[in-house]
Amino acid sequence: MEKRYDLIVFDWDGTVMDSTAVIAGSIQAACRDLGLPVPEDQAARHVIGLGLVQALRHAVPDAPEAMYEPLVERYRHHFLAQDQAIPLFSGARETIAELHEAGYLLAVATGKSRAGLDRVLDASGMRPYFHGLRTADMTFSKPHPAMLLELMDELAVSAERTLMVGDTTHDLQLAQNAGVDVIAVGHGAHPPEQLLELKPLALLDDFAQLRAWFKANA
C-alpha cells in the first residue's frame, strides 16, 4: 500500500510516556507546598500538554502573580524526583521503532521544556527515532499551530502528508489549526468524550490499536 503520510508527529506526555498521574500529582503537590488552592484531578490533568507556566496559570488561576515562579520551582522539584521512573506506554517503543524502520519521518511536539524532553529521550533511548523536536520553550505553546508548521517546514513535508498523534484536546486543536490530520489516544490526560467532540480521524485505546491503524491506514 502506498504511504498516506510522510511525517508522523507524536505528543509525549500522556501519549508516548505514561506520565499523566505524575504531572497532575506534581501540580497538586506544588500548590500544597505554597498554600495555594489545590486543583482537582480533572483540572490538573486538563492543562497537561500546555507549556508549564501556561499550564499552571490555567490550573491555579487565582494565584498571585508573584507565586507562579516559586510554583514552577516546586512543580519541578516534585516532578524531577519521579521522572526517571516513568515508563513508556506498552507498545510505544516497538511501534515507533517500526515506523522509523518503515521510512517515516518522526517528530515530537510537546509542552515539555527542551531540557526536559532531551532528558527523557536520552533516558529512554528513544532519541534516535526522531527527526525533529518542538517544545513549549522553543516556539508557541499548543494549541497555536507553530510547532507543526515549523516541523513541516524543517522536514519539507506538506500538511496533507503529516499526521499528529495526541492524547489531549490541546493536541487535536494544534493539528486542526495547522491543517493536519490527527489521531487521538484515550489512555492519557483528557477523557475520550472530550476528544471525540473534536472529531479526530480515530480514537484508539492503546498502542496495539494504534499500530494496527497505522498498518491499515498510514
Q: Is the CB of residue 108 less than 8 Å from the CB of residue 124?
A: no
Backbone angles phi, psi at 80, to 5 degrees: -70, -20
Task: Supply the pLDDT for residue 2.
Answer: 80
On average, the pLDDT of the chain sits at 95
Task: Supply the pLDDT for residue 38.
Answer: 95
Q: Which of 84, 76, 66 is nearest to 112 (CA)?
A: 76
What is the rounded CA–CA span in Å between residue 70 and residue 141?
21
Q: For domain 7-19+86-217, is the CATH number 3.40.30.10?
A: no
Catalytic residue check, 13:
yes
Task: Supply the pLDDT for residue 111.
Answer: 94
Residue 69: how many other CB atoms lie within 10 Å: 10
CATH number for the 20-84 domain, one of 1.10.540, 1.10.150, 1.10.20, 2.60.40? 1.10.150
Per-residue pLDDT reduced to its tens digit, 86-142: 999 999 999 999 999 999 999 999 999 999 999 999 999 999 999 999 999 999 999
Residue 1 pLDDT grade (very low, low, confident, very high; cuts 50, 70, 90): low
Q: Is the CB of residue 26 less than 8 Å from the CB of residue 182?
A: no
Catalytic residue check, 11:
yes
**Domain boundaries of the chain, sorted by first residue:** 7-19+86-217, 20-84
| 7-19+86-217 and 20-84, same CATH topology | no
Per-residue pLDDT reduced to its tens digit, 163-180: 999 999 999 999 999 999
List the catalytic residue out of 6, 13, 171, 181.
13
Q: For the chain, what percent of residues have pLDDT higher than 70?
A: 100
Task: Supply the pLDDT for residue 84.
Answer: 84
List the catalytic residue out of 11, 83, 167, 171.
11
What is the rounded CA–CA span in Å between residue 39 and residue 25?
10
> What are 1's strand-pairing partners?
none
How buried is 139 (Cβ within 10 angstroms: 0-12 exposed, 13-18 middle, 19+ buried)?
Answer: middle
